[in-house]
Amino acid sequence: MTKETKIHLCSIADDTDLRSLQVRIGDKDLKTPTKAIATNSFYKDTSFPKELCDLQELFLKFDEESLVKKDQDIKFSSEKNRQLKREKEKANSCPYFCLLEFKNKGENWRYPTEKEIDILTNVAYSHSDITPIPSVPKAARNLNVENFDAFIEYLDSCYNSIEIRNKKCIMGYIPAVATLFGRELINYYLDKGINAYYVDFDSSMITTHLDVLNAMKRELTKRGYEENHLFHFVNVSYGKSINDQKVLSARDILGFGYGLDSLGGIHSGPKRNPEFYEKLKAMKDISRNTKRLLNLEDYGYYRFDSVKDNLESIYPADALISIDELRAYPKSIWITMNGNLW
């Protein structure tokens, strides 16, 4: 049976679920709340500040064909391993885990076979300080009362595969599900000694799942784990805002008030009609919109060109990036107005 993730509560808000934890990931300590970095989106020569490397999220997607290649093709497998190694090096050896997604080809969905599960869990274990159970979004989108037992059987198969040879904690997988299933999954994982979870919102907004999140928190409280658990959110949608707007709401940061401990990346494809993207293409200016500043007074991401004329009056003296560097930097960057790089 896997060991529980060691979690220590540092502080908690009185009126929200915002809190700070100290979490042991492998042989390293993580302080929350935090945002996991995804180095696969970094420019080639990016040098990311070591003091901002709290947690790293790696990601790989497989179907039945690529799983066979990962298992049987040394060239393909070695290149995937080298890719992950390069990404880890960019994150200055901070705690990391590798999220895996299985999507079979074709319209019909299925769970991975026992052999495919062994390949998936082997990759996840090999490239993680804490081993996440692989996600199956096509199956998760079709969960109902009649087939939920099959999903539990899949989780059992993953758990048993990892436990064949396991010296790490396990991170549970919770898809965007109905409230009943959220409660069931929390109890399932706690029964197996798993108190760290990643919640896959599958390109939906946090606010559409508040009842599920609260139900899971209630279940954790009943079991004595109210503050002895970790929630990592992935594939969170920020809504349909056209990013040409002067100010964008920092919905990613506001999510921490809903029980989020660490925020991961967006790996699932968007679900919007073609007309929206045509409108987006016509309205957005990439070079103008990718450089923004976060104002912690109103939690808005301000387009740089809208504040640059009075930047000296609002820019903090202790910012990690100087004003001159910011103005000269040609690539995309988000930075807060209180001195912390985002």
Position 282 scores a pLDDT of 63
Position 332 scores a pLDDT of 45
On the question of pLDDT at 93 being above 90, the answer is no
Q: Which domains does the chain have, with CATH numbers?
A: 6-271 (3.20.20), 292-328 (no CATH)
Give the three-state DSSP class for 49: coil
Quick check: 87 and 58 in contact, CB under 8 A?
yes
pLDDT digits (tens, 9 = 90+) for 325-341: 766 655 444 444 443 43
Q: Residue 65: which pLDDT band, with cuts at 50, 70 and 90?
A: very high
Q: Quick one: what percent of the chain has pLDDT higher than 90?
A: 60
* 238-242 mean pLDDT: 61
pLDDT digits (tens, 9 = 90+) for 117-164: 999 999 999 999 999 999 999 999 999 999 999 999 999 999 999 999
- DSSP secondary-structure letter at 112? P
Helix (H) or strand (E) holding 20: strand 19-25
Q: Tell me, what amino acid is at 228?
A: N
* 224-237 mean pLDDT: 95
The owner of tokens 């159970």 is: 133
The owner of tokens 């699932």 is: 268
On the question of pLDDT at 55 being above 60, the answer is yes
pLDDT digits (tens, 9 = 90+) for 176-197: 999 999 999 999 999 999 999 9
CA-CA-CA-CA torsion sign (197, 198, 200, 206): positive
Position 288 scores a pLDDT of 62
* 223-237 mean pLDDT: 95
pLDDT digits (tens, 9 = 90+) for 260-293: 999 999 887 655 566 655 665 665 555 566 567 7
Q: Taking Cα atoms as reference points, which of 167, 218, 222, 168 lies closest to residue 196? A: 168
pLDDT digits (tens, 9 = 90+) for 141-151: 999 999 999 99
Phi, psi of 246 (to 5 degrees): -60, -45
Helix (H) or strand (E) holding 212: helix 210-222
On the question of pLDDT at 317 being above 80, the answer is no
Phi, psi of 104 (to 5 degrees): -70, 155
N residues, the chain = 342
Q: Which position has the higher pLDDT, 258 or 81? A: 81
Quick check: 175 and 200 in contact, CB under 8 A?
yes
